[in-house]
Structure 1
Amino acid sequence: MAFTPSAVRAAAEWAPATLLIVATLTILAPGALLSAVTPMVTKLRLIKLAQTGTIVGQLSGVGTMGAIAGTVLTGFVFVSRMPVSVILIGLGSILVLGGIVVESRMRRRNTLSAIVITLATVGAGLAGYLAPGGCDVETKYHCARVIADPERDSGRTLTLDGARHSYIDLQDPALLQFIYVRAFASVVDASFPSKKALEAYHLGGGGLTFPRYLAATRPGSHNVVSEIDGGVVRIDRDELGSASEAGIEVRVEDGRLGLAGLDDGSRDLIVGDAFGGVSVPWHLTTVESLTDIRRVLKKDGVYVANLIDYGELAFARAEVSTLTKVFDYVIVAAEAGDVGVDTAATPDGGNLVVLASDRPVDPGALQRVLNTRKTGWTITAGDDLRKWIGDARVLTDDYAPVDQLLDPYRRQSGE
């Protein structure tokens, strides 16, 4: 996934106040109304003071059973079978319809107004769901869209939750638009002989840009991809032409589980591209998961991953610190100034690409390839990298506070 400083800066300008208003309208107001149901029903049913315990106990039991049923059905049935927006609109409709039934039995004269409110509520929800500019497809995990490139007939951009995730040229899989993907390619070129076929494993698929690139530029390569979102895989197949790509095997599964099923020493290359700007699967960041990556790599294998962070880069530092506990050699490539001894020189942040291996990769060769691919990035390794890492914590399965470490907005908002 590619994030640009300007996009994050723009989001930072409107995000705090807007999010507060939206949260108030969409969470606090409905929550307050729903929390009033139990005391109101209790008051309506409580005729004699002696019945207090019985009435409250019955309502508590019914409420508990409903909460359990709602949690189980939503978590294990509804979410796996329908979009979240459908679940929310359906729940809202049921609540309003239930209110109509109660209202009609108690105050028949207000039934018409209740029906009007219901239709308006359901209509507004459907309008928001179907409005142009929303999702082409709402998967289990994302609001996904495929946008045609107006400057290139065969170009397509896959966006997930409004962020550009992948750029694919349907006619030329060797075209790499995002800088961090060009950095991936630079790592491969600096680490392996030209045209060598690779056994590669990809944590995260998205639009399959890099698996397609490897298949096209290194014939005979075998790419296994673990992508947790089956909806994204269907988009790859139906709209981005991945079904015709030779040498790519896509599995709908969690990356940690997919990794566990691979044989020891079976991969030349493992590519980590499952991290978003504000959403990081923490279980792929820890010492334990990286140790499993090292197990699957051949002795001269290479792990390359895309990290996204801003501000003090606390998450990026922690992840690189964790990598140094598992691998003998670690190099970070980033926009000039993002990684350095002087943290005050850190500019806007964004994508960083980290290389880890148990065999040395020539930093000079990697820098030359980065320059050739016009990334504008520089590398940091050795003592400079250790100084940049500083006292950053090591992430483990027992403690990986990724959400607290990530800083997607603060630097851009001037705080």
Structure 2
Amino acid sequence: MTGPISPPDEQPRTSQPPILGPRAAAALVAFSSAAVLVVEITALRLLAPYLGLTLETSTLVIGIALAAIALGSWAGGRLSDRTDPRQLIGSAFGGSGAVVALTPAALRMAAEWAPPLLLIVASLTILIPGALLSAVTPMVTKLRLTTLDQTGTVVGQLSGLSTVGAIAGTVLTGFVLISRLPVSAILIGLGTLLVVAGAVVEWRMRRWKRVNAIGLALILLVGGLADYMAPGGCDAETKYHCLRVVADAERDTGRTLVLDGLKHSYLDLNDPTHLQFAYVRGLASVVDTAFPTGRPLAAYHLGGGGLTFPRYLAATRPGTRSLVSEIDGGVVRTDRDELGLQSDAGIEVRVEDGRLGLASLDPGSRDLIVGDAFGGVSVPWHLTTTEAIADIRRALNGTGVYVANLIDYGQLSFARAEVATLSQAFDHILLVGEPRDLGLDAAFAPDGGNFVVAASHRALDFEAIKTALDARETQWTVVQGEALRRWIGDAETLSDDYAPVDQLLEPAPTRSAR
């Protein structure tokens, strides 16, 4: 005879000890999630010299990383139900480490030798390690689950640890690693750590094979050598830029500051009055005619770069006090160490965001404000808005002048929107640029390029500016009044609430100099 059968919900429940201990599980989940975020953030820096540091680039990288997390989580869970996860975790770490270590060389080679493949290579170098590492959490969860009674606790704890790891990876990369190490060193170092983690996991689970160790070690070695030999690279990797200083072969004392592949500044170490770029000559033509010759100015500069214009003011207007907000401390160090910035030049440089620097200026304290801040080829959006312009207007005195360098191409949608925004805040606006670039030549579509916009509450001398531009052989013209209103057209103004600068801005046909 048999005894009574208990209903299903009264069946005795037994549990086995978890295969993986809680500390090991926590370490694996947190480390794998942290590594995904390190790869994501460093990918942005690695791609900046080739794609620009724009909203679109950031969106692309974030989207691929999220796709990798989704794919890895789904695939990791599915594989865990079909295969013993102990056979998979070590391989996930080792494989992702190999790809991460090869990433710097792969991206730079693609960018230099096969540009059409750059987006594909970039996507794969984020997607593959991201998916492999994201598969670790469901695999570890499978090993930790021994009874359905603990499902909520185990899944919740490991999900929380995964998020903590991601936060740690984000903070560590953004606040520590990027500012202290080259991107290639970060990725090769991370790849090595991932391979070591994979080896430890395999060894602890007694599944490690010597051939695996040799293969992954060779991949790490190849990654390091390939990165060393790959084209591109930088003289220095700052917190925000891949930086190079290029000597002028035709002018012994000429230097060009190149940030993320773009020529940001040119200066002559012995002659600060030598202005190589046309837009700087445009700035000088406006400022020279707006104020009496030689009069010292209280100037503020949004963006520093090579400090070409602050040095020009110091040379042509002795006694001028220039305060500069430059967000990249690495650029400032280069100004001092390689580009000859002297402490007694009347130029004070603060490492800070320009919007915060603007807000700290005393009302009516500046004769001149110069806008020349760029992230890639675009002005940082928060420096273009009605609210930012209000800070500029507040800091200028009654006869003060704001001049800014703008870049746009195609239909010039961003440039028109920015000039429209300025026209709401100042009584007098004029635009300086090459007629064909501005779309003023009816025989051609607008080429685009650099423009200089000037704004003030007093009228600026149109004819004097045109004469100064001609004297500097710029072939630029001046647009104001009704002609400028027609040029602006129906462009919308920009605000903190709505400033789609990256969407309005059309990229250059080639990544040429500013």
TM > 0.5 fold call: yes
Q: TM-score, normalised by structure 2?
A: 0.72
Q: Mind listing any 5+ residue stretches in structure 2 that lack a counterpart?
A: 1-51, 53-110
Does 2:419 match 1:320? yes
Q: Mind listing any 5+ residue stretches in structure 1 that lack a counterpart?
A: 1-7
Contact 2:440 2:446 in 1 (8 A): no
Contact 1:83 1:140 in 2 (8 A): no
Pick closer, same or farther for the CA change 1:126–1:382 going to 2, 3 Å.
farther
Where in structure 2 are the equivalents of 1:160-239 lying within 5 Å? 160-239=259-338
Query: Distance in 1 between the 2:228 and 2:386 partners?
Result: 41
1:229-285 deviation per Cα after TM superposition (whole angstroms, max 9, x unaligned): 111010000111102552211111111111222221111111111024544311111
1:347-379 deviation per Cα after TM superposition (whole angstroms, max 9, x unaligned): 321111111111001222211111111111112
Q: Which amino acid aligns with 1:167?
A: Y
Picking from 238, 244, 247, the partner of 1:148 is 247
Match of 1:4 in 2: none
Where in structure 2 are the equivalents of 1:69-148 lying within 5 Å? 69-118=168-217, 120-121=219-220, 124-125=223-224, 127-128=226-227, 133-148=232-247
- Secondary structure (helix, strand or coil) at the match of 1:144 reads strand
1:82-128 deviation per Cα after TM superposition (whole angstroms, max 9, x unaligned): 44444333333322221121122335442442354245236525752
- Secondary structure (helix, strand or coil) at the match of 1:200 reads strand
Contact 1:341 1:384 in 2 (8 A): no
Where in structure 2 are the equivalents of 1:377-388 lying within 5 Å? 377-388=476-487
Query: Distance in 2 between the 1:118 and 1:288 partners?
Result: 54
Pick closer, same or farther for the CA change 1:122–1:190 going to 2, 3 Å.
farther
Match of 2:341 in 1: 242
Contact 2:260 2:376 in 1 (8 A): no
Pick closer, same or farther for the CA change 1:245–1:349 going to 2, 3 Å.
farther
Pick closer, same or farther for the CA change 1:288–1:97 going to 2, 3 Å.
same
Contact 1:211 1:223 in 2 (8 A): yes
Does 2:498 match 1:399? yes
Q: CA deviation at 1:81?
A: 4.1
Pick closer, same or farther for the CA change 1:129–1:273 going to 2, 3 Å.
farther
Q: How large is the RMSD of aligned CA atoms in angstroms?
A: 2.7
Does 2:366 match 1:262? no
Q: CA deviation at 1:185?
A: 0.6
Q: CA deviation at 1:52?
A: 4.3
Bigger mean CA deviation after superposition, 399-408 or 44-53:
44-53
Q: CA deviation at 1:394?
A: 1.0
Contact 1:276 1:308 in 2 (8 A): no
Contact 1:340 1:384 in 2 (8 A): no
Q: Which has the larger radius of gyration?
A: 2
Match of 1:5 in 2: none
Query: Distance in 2 between the 1:15 and 1:306 partners?
Result: 33
Picking from 271, 275, 290, the partner of 2:389 is 290
Contact 1:341 1:387 in 2 (8 A): no
Bigger mean CA deviation after superposition, 326-335 or 114-123:
114-123
Bigger mean CA deviation after superposition, 211-220 or 64-73:
64-73
1:55-92 deviation per Cα after TM superposition (whole angstroms, max 9, x unaligned): 43332232122122223333344344444444333333
Query: Distance in 1 between the 2:479 and 2:190 partners?
Result: 52
Where in structure 2 are the equivalents of 1:356-395 lying within 5 Å? 356-395=455-494
Q: Which amino acid aligns with 1:142?
A: H
Query: Distance in 1 between the 2:504 and 2:224 partners?
Result: 35
Contact 1:104 1:111 in 2 (8 A): no
Match of 1:56 in 2: 155
